[in-house]
């Protein structure tokens, strides 16, 4: 029997490559300074954070992007076309999801945008609605990580207590919000260490890639 009742995954940076890293690369490639990037994409009341709470529609975000960048060559509309192409999956983490199917309750929480886009375009190109019984999207519920309410909602939908759940994310600030509710948290990086940590807290053997990270 598993030591915990539920596993809740982030998407970008956990089940797919990190959108944060890809956005940083996009900005470097297009000559957008770190200061401008942070003004557009930081936590709090930035245009991207407001977009993730559906306080801005795509045209509103694109206009805010253009105003912040203030230079020709790249537009908010072009950025959104690029972003909605999605991000490559992480097969080793998807294998973990498959291994846990039917053994624990599973869900995911994602800070995403454009609530009226097709589901996979909202979730980094991954069909998470076929993987999880509970998918909590910031653009749908109007709140985003690290707001503790979004983790509470996921637990309620799964029918589990936060202290009986483990949450995986690649961003420390998002994990802090989950810990505030008593959830076990695991930080995911580019290695496979999170798989070993998850195996330990669940007490369930999990598959490993042939080459350790």
Query: Residue 213: what pLDDT?
Result: 43
Q: Which of 197, 169, 205, 212 is nearest to 15 (CA)?
A: 169
Q: Give tens-digit pLDDT for 67-122.
A: 999 877 899 999 999 988 888 999 999 999 999 999 999 999 999 987 778 777 78
The answer to whether the CB of 132 falls within 8 A of the CB of 153 is no
At residue 1, the pLDDT reads 54
Helix (H, G, I), strand (E, B) or coil at 9: strand
| Runs of H (alpha helix) within the chain | 19-29, 34-41, 47-52, 58-69, 76-83, 91-100, 119-122, 138-141, 148-158, 172-179, 193-202
| C-beta of residue 8 within 8 angstroms of C-beta of residue 108 | yes
Task: Give pLDDT, residue 87.
Answer: 87
Q: Average pLDDT in the 1-27 region?
A: 91
Confidence of residue 212 (pLDDT cuts 50, 70, 90): very low
Residue ranges per domain, the chain?
A: 6-17+89-202, 19-83
Amino acid 125: pLDDT: 82
The residue among 122, 128, 138, 180 whose CA lies nearest residue 14 is: 128
Q: Is 73 helix (H, G, I), strand (E, B) or coil?
A: coil
Homologous superfamily of 6-17+89-202 in CATH? HAD superfamily/HAD-like (3.40.50.1000)
- CA torsion angle for 141, 42, 25, 71 (degrees, to 10)? 110
Per residue in 135-162, pLDDT tens? 999 999 999 999 999 999 999 999 999 9
Residue with tokens 């846990």: 100
Is pLDDT at 21 greater than 60 in this prediction? yes
């Amino acid at each position: 029997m598993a030591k915990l009742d539920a596993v809740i995954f982030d998407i970008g940076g956990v089940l797919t490559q990190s959108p944060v890293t890809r956005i940083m690369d996009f900005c470097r490639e297009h000559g957008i300074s770190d200061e401008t990037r942070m003004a557009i994409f930081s936590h709090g009341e930035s245009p991207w954070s407001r977009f993730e709470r559906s306080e801005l529609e795509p045209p509103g975000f694109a206009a805010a992007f253009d105003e912040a960048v203030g230079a020709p060559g790249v537009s908010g509309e072009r950025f959104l076309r690029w972003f909605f192409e999605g991000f490559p999956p992480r097969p080793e983490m998807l294998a973990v999801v498959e291994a846990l199917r039917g053994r624990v309750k599973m869900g995911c929480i994602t800070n995403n945008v454009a609530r009226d886009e097709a589901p996979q375009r909202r979730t980094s190109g991954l069909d998470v609605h076929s993987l999880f019984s509970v998918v909590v999207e910031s653009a749908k519920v109007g709140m985003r990580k690290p707001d503790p309410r979004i983790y509470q909602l996921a637990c309620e939908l799964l029918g589990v207590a936060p202290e009986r759940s483990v949450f995986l994310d690649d961003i420390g600030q998002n994990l802090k919000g989950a810990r505030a509710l008593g959830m076990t948290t695991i930080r995911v990086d580019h290695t496979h260490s999170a798989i070993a940590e998850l195996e330990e807290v669940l007490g369930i053997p999990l598959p490993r890639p042939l080459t350790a990270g």
